[in-house]
Chain A
Amino acid sequence: MPKVNLYATFRDLAGKSQLEVPGATVGEVLENLVRAYPALKEELFEGEGLAERVSVFLEGRDVRYLQGLSTPLSPGATLDLFPPVAGGGLERTFGAFPPWLLERYLEAWGGVKEGEGVYRLPGAWVRFREVEPLKVGSLSIPQLRVEVEGEEAERWFERIAFAASRGGG
């Protein structure tokens, strides 16, 4: 059965951070989820479609860039559901930004390690973990999902995003 990870305010609405929900597509899983936790319905859907402000990730990929609600799910799939940015937390998946480098920055900025992939900064919490690399043709790009919560979340998120700026050519 697919796993669903809930983040930030979604956790309060469901009273859980992780659960197993039946379904063969993203749409089916989300429908079953709101059936069990009706408070999530308004947050996740706009009419029949996925609410624009919500981020639903399948193995680190935004389902909007896959097949949306029709995206098929294997029984072992994991969906990550993030509430809108305005909900108090900020998150982004950064490419080519290794976790050890983020740890160095956080320590240099006065962060305190509270656990694996969890740091406390003045006025904010930072959580991060590696998700499935983005595979494109013969290229594989490591992906790091970073969440920042707290009163000073915006300031710290901007600082992390700036440090993670990359380009290419």
Chain B
Amino acid sequence: MLGGYAHRIARIDLSTGQVEYFAPDPKDLEMYVGGRGLGVKYVFENGPQVDPLGPENLLCIMNGPLSGTRAKMSGRLAVVTKSPLTGTVTDSHMGGWTAAKLKWAGFDGLLIKGASERPVYLLVKDGEVTVHDASDLWGKTTHETHRILRERHGEDADVMAIGPAGENLVRFANWINNDERAAGRGGTGAVAGSKKLKAIVVVGTHDKTPQPKDPELWKEADRLASATINDPKNVTAPKKGGLSLYGTNVLMNITNVMGALPTFNAQHTCIEGVEKISGEYIREHRLIKDNTCHACPVACKKMVEVHINGKAIRFESYEYESAWALGAHAGHTDTDWTGYAIYLCNAYGMDTIEAGNAIAVLMEATEKGYYRGEDGIRFGDKEGEVRVLEAIAHRKGVGDMLAEGPARFAKAIGHPEISLEVKGQSIPAYDPRGLKGMGIAYATSNRGACHLRAYTPASEVLGVPYKTDPLAWEGKGKLTKLFQDLSAFTDSLDLCKFSQFAEGPEEYAKQLAAYWGRPVTPEEILRIGERIYNLERYYNNLAGWGEGSDYLPERFLKEPSDCAGSKGQLTELDRMLEEYYRERGWERGVVPPAKLQELGILSQAAD
């Protein structure tokens, strides 16, 4: 039996209230590991044709074989389902302690199906899952829900909840846990809302912490991983490295200088005054505390305090993507209003990236006269932005249209070109005219535009694992495949993406081998990642995303960048796609049967 697992998954039918338990198939664990990979396998088996907001959709809450152990940066939890935003399979990950506590409660995952007639929450404790009435919680913010449920079940209880946005089926609603970490993208909170599932409470005890099958190998593996993460020269070095000191938002000034920061809905590629929403400025002027996640020495999380109309608001965290989406993308760099907008999105349970894109699209539509409603807003209107965010969460006025996602909104007003989306999901904070690799990464991401499937800025900006020219397209297809496969694997362990700034296939293989109790090669790591990526693509192909589905918004192909660093640049998507498909062995975005067989997917799928 492979080590690291609780060997217990709960299958919960919210239509009937019935809960069953099963041990995951060892073959599935070897092929898909856990977290994202195993979740995708279960969502695939549930069928790619389901209505994402129908009771038949499957919502998977998964941890991995290293969750709950002392493996560094192992605090991530995967939420996997069919996305109501994109219609693709999607996975989104949150930090904090939820993943660890789920393991300590005796579980590798929860598979939730059906839909309750009344609001409910799940209590996960001592190897059992029970369904409880949540009528009193319906309508409450995520923060209120955390507080009430922790009062009820104890301060050690971990609570992940949806907010009013999830209840109102906002297609980019998310999950927020009591450490204010978000499983942000793809609308997994709306899937919960459609099932009337308000929250999941997890109570775990340390006696269920899994032990490595090979303790000697584990000592060596853990020592190596710790040494690379803590290496004082590395960006992950606690209290020394840039990622530890400033968090993700250390990138804001950098991408702005490179002309790679989409602003004013990507009509421009930089913005004046960006310093005011940067990690450096926040550290000096708004930081309260450096918080962290389970087993993480890096502590990239930043608790901050902003002031709005004389009122102090504390929240976590002033992330790069969030600050960009709700600040620069909306045409302003106001420290406090940007922070307040982030806080509100967390309270209502909405993805900050998609919400910021919704705001930016409405602003461009208003300024160009494409939207003429009284509740239209213009770039830089911070108070208007907050009004619209509230309207989205409660589906009022223009907020009701935007709650369908900026892509559907732009299409509905007859101007799909102003929505910066791929497969229905909007772009994050990197402009592919200034960072060409992001262009191919967005286009080929299996969950729609995304920076976390293949983080090419690692190479293009930070020189990891080797430096490439951000303005060159050559080689980016190959790089994207490597990053996609590596991330598909680490998302299945489920380790933080930041671990990749310090660890590689050798270090991951050693840690997994020590827990599994059988040899794992670095090559197997990438093979597993490739298998997961192909299974996701196969699911999407069957769900209707076939040839021609790997595209980019027209703006990046036709409107040149206007800022220093990337001035005059466009994205050479077709050339990169050709290189990428060659590396993948795909036919114009479709996985051929031979590839599915080669990776063991087809025979497995048929089992």
Interchain CB contact under 8 A, A169 and B465: no
Say whether, besides A98-B228, A164-B504, A166-B503, A137 and B467 are in contact (CB < 8 Å). no
Interchain CB contact under 8 A, B464 and A166: yes
Chain A hits for B243, CB < 8 A: 139
Interchain CB contact under 8 A, A166 and B234: no
Chain A hits for B280, CB < 8 A: 137-138
Task: Report the minimum CB–CB distance from A111 to chain B (whole Å).
Answer: 15
Interface residues of A in 91-105 (CB under 8 A from B): 92-98, 100-101, 104-105
Chain B hits for A96, CB < 8 A: 234-235, 462-465, 501-502
Instruction: Select one of B253, B486, B502 contacting A165, CB under 8 A.
Output: B486
**A117 contacts partner chain B, Cβ-Cβ < 8 Å:** no
CA distance in complex: A112, B482 (Å): 30
Instruction: Select one of B250, B469, B522 contacting A65, CB under 8 A.
Output: B469
CA distance in complex: A93, B486 (Å): 20
Chain B hits for A138, CB < 8 A: 242, 245-246, 250, 253, 279-280
**B557 contacts partner chain A, Cβ-Cβ < 8 Å:** no
Chain A 69-93 interface mask (CB, 8 Å, partner B; 1/0)? 0000000000000000000000011
Interface residue range, chain A: 20 to 34
- Which stretch, A31-39, A140-148, A149-157, touches the partner chain B? A140-148
Q: How many residues of B contact A (CB 8 A)?
A: 52
CA distance in complex: A104, B482 (Å): 24
**A23 contacts partner chain B, Cβ-Cβ < 8 Å:** no
CA distance in complex: A89, B11 (Å): 56
**B217 contacts partner chain A, Cβ-Cβ < 8 Å:** no
Interchain CB contact under 8 A, A95 and B250: no
Chain B 233-255 interface mask (CB, 8 Å, partner A; 1/0)? 11100000111011000110110
Task: Report the minimum CB–CB distance from B437 to chain A (whole Å).
Answer: 12
Interchain CB contact under 8 A, A164 and B465: yes
Task: Report the minimum CB–CB distance from B142 to chain A (whole Å).
Answer: 24
CA distance in complex: A140, B235 (Å): 7
Interchain CB contact under 8 A, A166 and B500: yes
Interchain CB contact under 8 A, B462 and A136: yes
Closest to A64 in B: B469
Interchain CB contact under 8 A, B501 and A166: yes
Interface residues of B in 452-468 (CB under 8 A from A): 452, 454-455, 457-459, 461-467
Interchain CB contact under 8 A, A168 and B234: no
Interface of A is mostly: mixed
Interchain CB contact under 8 A, B455 and A141: no
**B257 contacts partner chain A, Cβ-Cβ < 8 Å:** yes
Instruction: Select one of A105, A142, A165, A168 contacting B497, CB under 8 A.
Output: A168
Interface residues of B in 499-555 (CB under 8 A from A): 500-506, 522-523, 526
CA distance in complex: A143, B466 (Å): 9
Interchain CB contact under 8 A, B505 and A165: yes
CA distance in complex: A161, B479 (Å): 13
Chain A hits for B233, CB < 8 A: 98, 133, 140, 142
Closest to B245 in A: A138
Chain A hits for B452, CB < 8 A: 169
Chain A hits for B454, CB < 8 A: 167
**B415 contacts partner chain A, Cβ-Cβ < 8 Å:** no
Interchain CB contact under 8 A, B464 and A167: yes
**B126 contacts partner chain A, Cβ-Cβ < 8 Å:** no
CA distance in complex: A145, B294 (Å): 34
Interchain CB contact under 8 A, B467 and A93: yes
Closest to A169 in B: B497
CA distance in complex: A61, B506 (Å): 27
CA distance in complex: A96, B501 (Å): 6
Closest to A142 in B: B233
Say whether, besides A96-B501, A96-B502, A168-B458, A137 and B465 are in contact (CB < 8 Å). no
Instruction: Select one of B227, B466, B500 contacting A169, CB under 8 A.
Output: B500
Instruction: Select one of A92, A95, A140, A163 contacting B242, CB under 8 A.
Output: A140
Interchain CB contact under 8 A, A169 and B463: no
CA distance in complex: A117, B280 (Å): 36
**B213 contacts partner chain A, Cβ-Cβ < 8 Å:** no
Chain A hits for B214, CB < 8 A: none
Chain B 461-501 interface mask (CB, 8 Å, partner A; 1/0)? 11111110100000000000011001100100000111011
Chain A hits for B562, CB < 8 A: none
Say whether, besides A137-B257, A141-B462, A167 and B250 are in contact (CB < 8 Å). no
Chain B hits for A104, CB < 8 A: 224
CA distance in complex: A141, B504 (Å): 16
Task: Report the minimum CB–CB distance from A112 to chain B (whole Å).
Answer: 20
CA distance in complex: A93, B466 (Å): 6
**A50 contacts partner chain B, Cβ-Cβ < 8 Å:** no
Interchain CB contact under 8 A, A167 and B231: no
Given contacts A138-B279, A141-B463, 20 further A-B contacts (CB under 8 A): A95-B459, A95-B463, A101-B228, A104-B224, A134-B463, A137-B242, A137-B250, A137-B254, A137-B280, A139-B241, A141-B234, A142-B231, A161-B465, A162-B505, A164-B465, A166-B503, A167-B483, A167-B501, A168-B462, A169-B500
Q: What are 13 sample pairs from A and B whose C-beta atoms fall under 8 A apart?
A: A62-B467, A64-B469, A95-B465, A101-B227, A141-B464, A163-B506, A165-B486, A166-B464, A166-B502, A167-B454, A167-B465, A168-B498, A168-B501
